[in-house]
């Protein structure tokens, strides 16, 4: 079957749909408006109180649980030196800041942010000053 | 008066004539779409149409003019009709079985040309049930109603490239199906 034959079928479908729906009565907008106002009425504050109360209860429980649970503690002491040496050998801090972090700042041309990162980079370049 | 002005009049001053005018601009096309999507059942068309207008009245105040009203309206209609089809599919386990084209045609009196058109339309509707509802929507709106790719992309929230490839795949499937069914005219 070629495309033009398919187009003909669609043309026929559209025409047949047009003829068939032309027998329908005009849309009943008053019914749609009435249905909407009934829904609004049904969704008034009074009928939504149980839902609001349930949501508030869930929130209170969730916040309480968060307050009771403690975040896992970070192990005390220094980071093992072999790890820091490994990271240092892979990437210098200065390059990391300049190459990786700075370009991710948005907007990238923000002067204030550029200045902040410049000063951080400068500090890393001259750690003893 | 533009669609957007009519929306403004209805939302700000509950002008029902403005809503009536707005709806009258879109109702024919909406009905044709529903008729094609819902298996040529006029009762279902009217029911679905009513649901679309209820949604329209509920949500028209969210229309901010970021897109055209036509896009807003057809996106709303599409979502509603896909919901209806999903629900009826769940209820029936599959799409509505459409009348066999030859039988449908034999019931319709009229000149040969009309009879042929009715047969072709019924055949196409029947064949389109092999497609997903959202592909059916795209194909009908593009090939029967002549909507642009850009408009369909806006209505569905998909990229134009996606719409093009979906249309192409759906058309190929449809043609293959029609050929397998022995329709080779």
Q: Residue B80 sits in a domain of what CATH number?
A: 1.10.1740.10
| Chain centroid, CA B59 distance in Å | 20
Per-state percent for chain A, helix, strand, coil, to nearest 5 = 75, 0, 25
ipTM over 0.85: no
In a domain, A43, yes or no: yes
Say yes or no: A90 and A117 in one domain: yes
Say yes or no: A98 and A64 in one domain: no
Pick the range with the lowest mean pLDDT from A91-105, B32-46, B139-153: A91-105
B27 touches chain A (CB under 8 A): yes
In a domain, A12, yes or no: no
In a domain, B48, yes or no: yes
B20 touches chain A (CB under 8 A): yes
pLDDT reading at B92 higher than 60: no
Q: Tell me the mean pLDDT in the region B37-47.
A: 88
pLDDT value at position B101?
46
- Ranked by mean pLDDT, which of A69-83, A89-103, B77-91 comes out on top? B77-91
In a domain, A16, yes or no: no
Number of domains in chain B: 1
In a domain, B170, yes or no: no
> DSSP labels for A76-119?
SSPPPHHHHHHHHHH--HHHIIIIIIGGGSSSTT-HHHHHHHHH
Q: Please list, residue by residue across B160-179, b when 16 or more beta carbons sit within 10 angstroms of its beta carbon and e when fewer do.
A: eeebeebbeebbebbbebbe
Mark yes or no for CB contact A12/B53 under 8 Å: no
Mutate to test the interface with B, among A4, A5, A12, A25 (most CBs of B within 10 A): A12
Mark yes or no for CB contact A10/B144 under 8 Å: yes
Over pLDDT 90: what percentage of chain A? Answer: 4
Question: Residue B2 belongs to what H/E stretch?
Answer: none
Say yes or no: A29 and A51 in one domain: yes
B40: alpha, beta or left, given left = phi > 0 and alpha = psi -120 to 50? left
Say yes or no: A53 and A85 in one domain: no
Structural domain that includes position B55: 1-95
Structural domain that includes position A117: 81-125
A4 touches chain B (CB under 8 A): no
């Amino acid at each position: 079957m070629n495309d033009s034959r398919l187009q003909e079928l669609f043309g026929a479908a559209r025409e047949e749909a047009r003829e068939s729906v032309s027998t329908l009565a005009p849309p009943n907008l008053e019914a749609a408006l009435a249905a909407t106002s009934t829904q609004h009425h049904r969704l008034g504050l009074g009928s939504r109180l149980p839902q609001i109360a349930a949501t508030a209860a869930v929130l209170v429980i969730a916040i309480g649980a968060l307050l009771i649970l403690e975040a896992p503690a970070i192990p005390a002491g220094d980071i093992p030196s072999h790890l820091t040496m490994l990271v240092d050998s892979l990437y210098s801090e200065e390059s990391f800041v300049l190459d990786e972090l700075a370009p991710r700042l948005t907007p990238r041309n923000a002067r204030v942010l550029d200045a902040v990162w410049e000063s951080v980079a400068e500090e890393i370049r001259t750690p003893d000053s | 008066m533009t669609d957007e002005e009519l929306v403004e009049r209805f939302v700000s001053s509950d002008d029902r004539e403005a809503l009536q005018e707005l709806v009258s601009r879109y109702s024919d096309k909406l009905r044709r779409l529903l008729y094609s999507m819902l298996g040529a059942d006029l009762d279902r068309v009217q029911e679905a149409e009513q649901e679309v207008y209820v949604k329209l009245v509920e949500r028209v105040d969210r229309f901010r003019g970021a897109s055209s009203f036509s896009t807003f309206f057809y996106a709303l209609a599409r979502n509603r009709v896909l919901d209806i089809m999903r629900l009826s599919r769940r209820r029936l386990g599959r799409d509505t079985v459409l009348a066999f084209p030859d039988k449908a045609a034999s019931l319709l009196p009229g000149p040969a040309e009309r009879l042929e058109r009715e047969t072709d339309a019924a055949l196409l509707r029947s064949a389109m049930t092999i497609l997903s509802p959202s592909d059916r929507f795209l194909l009908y709106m593009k090939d029967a109603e002549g909507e642009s790719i850009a408009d369909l992309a806006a209505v569905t929230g998909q990229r134009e490239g996606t719409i093009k490839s979906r249309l192409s795949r759906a058309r190929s499937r449809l043609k293959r199906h029609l050929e397998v069914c022995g329709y080779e005219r």
